[in-house]
Amino acid sequence: MAVFVDLNITNCTEVKKLQSIIEMAAHLGYSSVAINHVVDMEKKKPEIGKPISPTDLFPSLPTVQGKSAPIKILTRLTIIASDPSHCNVLRSTSPLTRLYDIVAVYPKTEKLFHAACTSIDVDLICINVTEKYPFFFRRPPVNAAIQRGIFFELIYTPAIKDSTLRRYTISNALSLMQICKGKNIIISSAAEKPIELRSPYDVATLGLLFGLSEASAKAALSVNCRSALLHGETRKTAFGITRTVKKSQTEEEEGATGEPVCKKAKN
């Protein structure tokens, strides 16, 4: 059975709302979710706090629909950056970033996008889907990110909220697919309410509109997420290297039941 993951659940200030979102995710069949702590570096005093603990949310974690195991709650940090200095907190020596299972960057300029792909120590690069992209995706940095085991994240909630946002989401996604050919893509919700979540199979169907194949759309919710988490483990420990392993067509069609794309090798 496929193991589905949502790596972007918005960290709400209301604990009850966050609990209800996670409960809905478990009901829909997600085995793991990541609570996303977003830090906008353009603000005067941006703070990167410690990640929220699952024990602070639930005395007993919700059980995943169709499985006997409880849902796994992960932690994620996303930095919104518009200046190169904003990415200093993402250096591998930063003690705070090592507390998070996933570290992502939301680059607002082409220069920062290029840096995120080639040199910044992150696991995910967030793709803006709420407006027309201010620059064109170029093959060299995108290929560099893929070689480094970094994944590109598309969020689907804007596409189900508004027709204009849906147009931007599909347009930006298709522009990226022309360059990356569907490789290293993750689809997340960024849900702020339980009603915004969709089942993994519905999201995979939406992935077809983004230019993904059926196998790639399923992988964007499963095996690619597992690979991104493995990349995060390597980043946190700072030991070994992350390398990309090619998957056979059969494994791609099997989706999340296959092995992770990235594996850690000893020096």
Question: pLDDT tens digits for 192-210?
Answer: 999 999 999 999 999 999 9
Q: What is the pTM of this model?
A: 0.85
Which structural domain, as residue segments, surrounds residue 61?
4-265
- The answer to whether residues 216 and 258 touch, using CB atoms and an 8 Å cutoff, is no
Residue with tokens 């970094």, as numbered in its chain: 150
- The answer to whether residues 127 and 173 touch, using CB atoms and an 8 Å cutoff, is yes
pLDDT at 178: 92
Cα–Cα distance for residue pair 136/152, rounded to 1 Å: 15
Count structural domains, the chain: 1
Give the rounded percent of residues in the chain with a pLDDT score beyond 90: 60
In this predicted model, what pLDDT tens digit does every residue of 73-107 receive, in sequence order?
Answer: 999 999 998 888 777 777 755 677 888 999 999 99
pLDDT at 182: 92
In this predicted model, what pLDDT tens digit does every residue of 152-187 receive, in sequence order?
Answer: 999 999 999 888 899 999 999 999 999 999 999 999
Q: Identify how many contiguous H helices and E strands the chain contains and give both numbers.
A: 10, 9
Average pLDDT over residues 212-229: 95
- The answer to whether residues 106 and 77 touch, using CB atoms and an 8 Å cutoff, is no
pLDDT at 260: 44
pLDDT at 152: 97
CATH number at residue 21: 3.20.20.140
In this predicted model, what pLDDT tens digit does every residue of 28-55 receive, in sequence order?
Answer: 999 999 999 998 887 777 777 788 888 8
* 164 DSSP 8-state letter: H
Q: Is the pLDDT of residue 266 over 70?
A: no
Where are any strands of DSSP class E within the chain? Answer: 4-10, 30-40, 72-81, 102-107, 124-126, 151-155, 185-188, 241-244, 262-265
- The answer to whether residues 228 and 151 touch, using CB atoms and an 8 Å cutoff, is yes
pLDDT at 235: 83
